[in-house]
Amino acid sequence: MVLLIGGASLVMAARDIHHANGFPAFWARFRSAVISRDKKGVAALSRFPIGMSNDVPAISNGRDLSRRFAEVFDQDANAAACFARTEPTADTESSDRYAISCQSNADNFVAYEFERTPQGWRFVHRQFPTKCGCR
């Protein structure tokens, strides 16, 4: 019984830290902006340059993100649908990072990474493909 109470306390403490770090509020705004295709809203919640994988040029600024929005959020995976049903997970090595993985059409995953910056939480990187076994 003591283990159960101790385990429940650890879960509650982790949940409190998660909420105290401001990520849930950021995620609600970012998810809403992607789902509603609010390009300016997504840009305001991003740190530039946004890293891209596989030798794809980074997203340099808000205009570049607006122009390449479909490449970032529609190509390889439907980010809006994924974000509506999946929550990001905290990085196991850094409390300043979260990621969400969305299944692609080819049994791979597209990972979107977020980082706490001096300006608050920001979208910082898109990784594809990855076979991470994540959510």
Q: Which is it for the CA torsion 113, 18, 103, 122, positive or negative?
A: negative
More reliable by pLDDT, 5 or 74: 74
Of 28-37, 56-65, 104-113, the one with minimum mean pLDDT is 104-113
Mean pLDDT in residue range 39-43: 98
Q: Is 127 helix (H, G, I), strand (E, B) or coil?
A: strand
Alpha-carbon distance of 28 to 88, in angstroms, equals 11
Confidence band of 107 (pLDDT split at 50, 70, 90) = confident
Q: Which is it for the CA torsion 34, 19, 86, 106, positive or negative?
A: positive
Confidence band of 131 (pLDDT split at 50, 70, 90) = low
- Name the average pLDDT for the chain: 86
Share of the chain above pLDDT 70, in %: 81
More reliable by pLDDT, 102 or 7: 102
Alpha-carbon distance of 97 to 95, in angstroms, equals 6
User: Would you kindly state where each structural domain of the chain is located, as residue ranges?
Assistant: 2-130
Mean pLDDT in residue range 75-81: 95
Residue 24: CB atoms within 10 Å:
15
What are the pLDDT digits (tens) for 13-40? 444 444 569 999 999 999 999 999 999 9
Which amino acid, residue 117? T
Q: Does domain 2-130 have CATH number 3.10.450?
A: yes
Integer angstrom CA distances of residue 92 from 58, 60, 75, 98: 25, 28, 27, 9
